[in-house]
Structure 1
Amino acid sequence: MYLLSGVLDFFTSLNGIFYTLSYLVGGIPFGLIYGKFFGGVNIREVGSGSIGATNVLRALKAQNPKLAKRIAILTMLSDALKGVVILMIAKAFNVSFEAQWFMAFLAVFGHCFSPFLKFEGGKGVATCVGVVAVFLPLEAILGILMWLVVGKLLKISSLASLLGVFCGVASSFFLHPEIPHITTHTPLVLMMVVIFYKHIPNIMRLIQRKEQKVI
Structure 2
Amino acid sequence: MSTNLILYAVAYLLGAIPFGLILARVFAKVDIKNSGSKSIGATNVLRVVKQENPRLAKILSVMTVVLDALKGVAPILVARYMGFDDSVQWAMAVLAVLGHCYSPYLGFEGGKGIATGAGVLACFLPLCVGIALIAWFLVGRLLKVSSLASLTALTTLLVSSFLLNPSLSGLNTQAPVLIIAFLVVYKHIPNIKRLFCGEEKAVI
TM range (shorter): over 0.9
Q: Which residue of 2 aligns with 1:92?
A: 81
Partner of 2:55: 66
Task: Report whether the alignment pairs 1:41 with 2:30.
Answer: yes
Q: Are 2:126 and 1:137 aligned?
A: yes
- What CA RMSD, in Å, does the superposition of the two structures yield over aligned residues? 0.8
Give the distance between the partners of 1:111 and 1:176, measured in 2 at CA. 26
Within 5 A, what are the aligned runs for 1:78-117? 78-117=67-106
Cα deviation, 1:48-90, whole Å, max 9, x if unaligned, reads 1000000000110011101100100000000011110010111
The aligned runs of 1:1-215 (5 Å cut-off) are: 13-214=2-203
Amino acid at match of 1:103: M
Give the greater-gyration-radius structure (CA): 1
What's the CA shift string for 1:160-193, capped at 9, x where partnerless? 0011011112211101111112111000001000
Identity among equivalent positions (%) equals 49
Matches of 1:63 and 1:47, distance apart in 2: 13
Instruction: Letter of the 1:190 partner, please give it.
Output: I
Name the aligned partner's letter for residue 155 of structure 1: K
Higher RCO (CA-CA < 8 Å; seq separation 6+) = 2
Structure 2 segments unaligned to the other structure (5+ residues): none
Q: Deviations over 1:114-168 (max 9, x none)?
A: 0100000000000000001001100110111111010000000001001101111
**Off by >4 Å, runs of 4+ in structure 1:** none
TM-score, length basis structure 2: 0.98
Q: Structure 2: which amino acid aligns with 1:86?
A: P
Query: Which structure 1 segments of 5+ residues have no match?
Result: 1-9
Distance 2:123 2:158 in 1: 14
